[in-house]
C-alpha cells in the first residue's frame, strides 16, 4: 500500500517572523495552488501485463486520493462506470474573493540612514490578482534641548520638519510630519552644558506621519508585484528631520531624532481551487471489491516496478495547466480457497452426514503468486471446522494442515479445482477469479486403527497371548482382553 510521504507539514496560511533590532520583521499570511488535471483509469488487467489495453474493462466506484508533497489529502475522486477518474479541484477550497496580507516592520533607529526590507510578491499560483493596497505607518521621535547664552532671560523656539518615505515596487508613500516648540529660558548660568536654569529640555516630541493609502488596479502596476511562484519585493525606508532653533541672541541647541514604521501590502485576488504545479501522489486506499492489486503505470507504456504490491503513483505537475491522464491502476480478480477439517466418524474417506467438524485446527497456505511474490498465510478452522483464504492472487500454492492432537491422519482431498495430495499437504494451481472449494482434511480418532491405504501397512505385533491375557496394539490407547 501507500508508503509514508516525506516531509509532512501543515498546509495553508502561516505566520513567519524574524525578530531583531534594526531588522525588518516579515509576516506571511496566505498560500494556495493553481489548476491542472490529473487522472487515469482503474481497470481489470485481464492479460496481466500491467498496461491498460483495448478491450480491458474499467472498474467503477474505486476511490482515489491525491496527496500533496506535505502529505495532506487535497482532492478525492471516484472512478466512473468506465473506470476513469480525474482530479480537477482541491477539496473544500472556495473561489470567493480572498486577500493575502504581508507586513514588513522597521524597528526604531536613527534618522538620516536609509534601510531596506522585503515583502513577498503576489504568487500567481494563488489565483487572479485584482487589486493591491499599500498601507504605510511611520513616526519620528525628536528630543530637543536648548540653552540661552545671553545675560537676560529670553523666549526661544524650535522647529521640527520630518520626512518619512517608503518605496515599494515602484510606488512611493510619503509623510511629512512637523511641529513647533517654544519656551522662556533664564539668563545664561555661565556653563554651556545644556543643563541648569539657562537650559530647557522639551522632552521627547512625537511626530506621527500621515500616509495616504495607495490602491493599485492598473494591470501594468499589478504586474510589478506579481511572480510565478514565491518572490521578493524590495521595500526601502528613508527618514530625515530638519530642525531649527531661534531666539533673541545666542543659543545652544541639541536635537536627536529616531524613526520607526511599517508597510503592509494587501493582495486582493480571486483564488483557484485547482491542482497547481508541484509533486503529488495518487493513492488507492482500498482495492475495488472482488479484486486484488495488479500493476500501476504513469504513462501506460512501462509498468511501475514493484507496483503489484503497492497502490500509489507519483505525479509531477510542471506547467499550468498540465493534463496527466495515464495514471492507471491495474487490478486482478481475487481468488479464494476453502475447505473443512472433520472427524471421519464413519470412515467413508469423504465429508458426509454424521461427520463432525474440528475447530481450532491450524491451516497454512504457502506458495508464489503470478508476480513471483512469496505468500504465507495462516488461519484456523471455525466452530464448524471450516476454513478459508480470501483475497488471493492467482498462483501456485500448498495448503498444509497442522495435525490436530488426539487424531490420526485420515483422508486428504483436493477440491473442485484439483491438486496433488501428499499426506497433510495439497498442492494446487489457483487461477484468477476462482473460488476453490472442498480442500478437506479428514481425521480419525487416535483410538481407531486407520485404514492401511491411508497410513501404510500396520506395524508388526507380538504373537497373540493366551486367553485372558492383556495386550496392547501399537498406536492404540486402549487394551483388549483376548
User: In CATH, what number is assigned to the domain containing residue 362?
Assistant: 2.60.40.10
Question: Do 251 and 315 lie in a common domain?
Answer: no
Using the 3D structure, point to which of 331, 347, 366 is the last residue of a domain: 331
Domain boundary among 306, 331, 356: 331
Q: Helix or strand or coil: residue 44?
A: strand
> What are 198-203's contacts with CB under 8 Å, separation 24+?
198/147, 198/148, 198/149, 199/145, 199/146, 199/147, 199/148, 199/252, 200/145, 200/146, 200/147, 200/156, 201/143, 201/144, 201/145, 202/143, 202/144, 202/145, 202/146, 202/158, 203/143
pLDDT of amino acid 447: 63
In this structure, the answer to whether residues 127 and 192 fall within a common structural domain is yes
In a domain, 319, yes or no: yes
Looking at the fold, whether 299 and 206 belong to one and the same domain comes out as: no
β-strand pairing of 480-481 with 470-471: antiparallel
Range of the domain at 310: 32-95+273-331
User: Quick check: is 170 in a domain?
Assistant: yes
| Helix/strand/coil (H/E/C) assignment for every residue in 354-367 | CCEECCCCEEEEEE
pLDDT in tens, 22-75: 444 444 333 344 479 999 999 999 999 999 999 999 999 999 999 999 999 999
CB environment 292-328: b (16+ within 10 A), e (fewer) = bbbbbbbebeebbeebbebbbbebebeebbbebebbb
Query: Other CB atoms closer than 10 Å to residue 474's CB: what's the count?
Result: 10
Residue 213 lies in a domain: yes
State whether 191 and 215 are in the same domain: yes
* Global confidence as pTM: 0.57
The verdict on residue 244 lying in a domain is yes
Predicted local distance difference test score (pLDDT) of residue 465: 31
Confirm whether 463 is domain-assigned: no
In a domain, 475, yes or no: no
Q: Is 217 found in the same domain as 85?
A: no
The reply to whether 231 and 111 lie within a common domain is yes
Distance between CA atoms of residues 231 and 114, nearest Å: 23
User: What nine digits make up the cell of 456?
Assistant: 501404510
Residue 252 and residue 305 in one domain: no
The DSSP secondary-structure symbol of 51 reads S
Domain identity same for 440 and 379: yes
By the 8 A CB rule, do 373 and 309 touch?
Answer: yes
Cα(473)–Cα(469) distance, rounded to whole angstroms? Answer: 13
Question: Are 86 and 228 part of one and the same domain?
Answer: no
Q: Both 255 and 282 in a single domain? A: no
pLDDT means per 10 residues, the chain with 482 residues, are: 35 29 40 72 96 97 96 96 95 88 94 91 88 95 93 91 92 93 92 92 92 93 90 93 84 92 95 87 96 96 93 92 94 97 94 94 97 96 97 97 95 96 97 97 76 41 30 28 24
Question: In total, how many domains does the chain have?
Answer: 3
* Per-residue model confidence as pLDDT tens digits over 374-388: 999 999 999 999 999
Q: Are residues 398 and 415 in the same domain?
A: yes
Note the pLDDT of residue 124.
Answer: 85
- Of the three residues 266, 285, 304, the one that is the final residue of a domain is 266
Task: Give the separation between CA 195 and CA 423, rounded to whole angstroms.
Answer: 114
Please indicate, yes or no, if residue 123 is contained in any of the structural domains: yes
184: in domain: yes
The reported pLDDT for the residue numbered 74 is 94
359 in the same domain as 218: no
Amino acid at each position: 500500500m501507500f508508503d509514508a510521504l516525506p516531509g509532512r507539514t501543515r498546509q495553508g496560511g502561516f505566520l513567519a517572523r524574524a525578530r531583531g533590532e534594526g531588522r525588518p520583521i516579515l509576516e506571511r499570511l496566505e498560500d494556495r495552488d493553481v489548476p491542472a488535471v490529473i487522472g487515469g483509469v482503474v481497470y481489470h488487467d485481464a492479460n496481466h501485463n500491467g498496461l491498460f489495453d483495448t478491450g480491458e474493462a474499467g472498474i467503477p466506484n474505486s476511490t482515489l486520493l491525491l496527496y500533496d508533497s506535505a502529505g495532506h489529502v487535497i482532492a478525492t475522486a471516484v472512478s466512473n462506470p468506465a473506470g476513469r477518474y480525474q482530479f480537477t479541484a482541491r477539496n473544500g477550497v472556495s473561489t470567493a474573493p480572498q486577500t493575502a496580507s504581508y507586513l514588513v516592520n522597521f524597528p526604531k533607529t536613527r534618522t538620516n540612514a536609509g534601510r531596506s526590507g522585503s515583502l513577498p510578491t503576489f504568487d500567481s499560483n494563488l489565483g487572479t490578482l485584482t487589486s493591491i493596497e499599500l498601507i504605510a505607518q511611520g513616526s519620528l521621535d525628536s528630543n530637543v534641548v536648548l540653552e540661552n547664552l545671553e545675560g537676560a532671560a529670553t523666549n526661544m523656539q524650535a522647529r521640527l520638519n520630518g520626512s518619512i518615505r517608503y518605496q515599494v515596487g515602484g510606488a512611493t508613500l510619503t509623510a511629512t510630519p512637523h511641529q513647533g516648540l517654544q519656551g522662556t529660558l533664564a539668563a545664561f548660568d555661565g556653563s554651556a552644558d545644556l543643563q541648569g536654569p539657562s537650559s530647557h529640555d522639551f522632552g521627547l516630541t512625537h511626530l506621527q506621519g500621515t500616509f495616504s493609502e495607495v490602491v493599485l488596479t492598473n494591470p501594468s502596476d499589478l504586474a510589478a508585484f506579481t511572480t510565478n511562484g514565491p518572490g521578493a519585493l524590495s521595500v526601502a525606508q528613508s527618514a530625515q528631520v530638519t530642525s531649527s532653533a531661534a531666539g533673541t541672541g545666542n543659543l545652544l541647541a541639541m536635537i536627536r531624532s529616531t524613526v520607526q514604521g511599517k508597510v503592509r501590502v494587501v493582495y486582493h485576488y480571486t483564488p483557484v481551487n485547482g491542482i497547481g504545479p508541484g509533486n503529488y501522489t495518487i493513492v488507492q486506499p482500498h482495492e475495488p471489491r472482488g479484486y486484488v492489486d495488479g500493476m500501476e503505470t504513469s504513462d501506460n507504456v512501462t509498468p511501475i516496478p514493484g507496483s503489484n504490491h503497492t497502490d500509489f503513483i507519483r505525479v509531477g505537475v510542471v506547467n499550468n495547466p498540465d493534463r496527466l491522464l495515464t495514471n492507471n491502476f491495474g487490478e486482478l480478480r481475487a481468488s479464494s480457497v476453502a475447505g473443512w477439517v472433520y472427524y471421519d466418524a464413519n470412515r467413508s474417506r469423504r465429508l458426509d452426514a454424521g461427520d463432525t467438524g474440528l475447530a481450532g485446527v491450524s491451516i497454512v497456505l504457502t506458495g508464489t503468486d503470478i508476480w513471483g511474490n512469496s505468500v504465507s498465510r495462516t488461519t484456523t478452522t471455525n466452530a464448524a471446522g471450516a476454513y478459508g483464504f480470501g483475497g488471493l492472487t492467482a498462483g501456485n500454492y500448498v495448503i498444509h494442515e497442522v495435525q490436530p492432537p488426539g487424531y490420526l491422519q485420515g483422508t486428504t482431498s483436493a477440491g473442485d479445482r484439483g491438486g496433488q495430495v501428499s499426506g497433510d499437504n495439497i498442492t494446487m494451481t489457483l487461477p484468477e477469479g476462482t473460488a476453490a472449494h472442498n480442500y478437506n482434511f479428514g481425521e480419525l480418532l487416535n483410538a481407531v486403527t486407520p485404514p492401511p491405504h491411508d497410513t501404510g501397512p500396520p506395524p508388526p505385533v507380538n504373537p497373540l497371548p493366551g486367553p485372558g491375557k492383556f495386550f496392547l496394539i501399537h498406536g492404540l490407547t486402549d487394551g483388549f482382553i483376548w
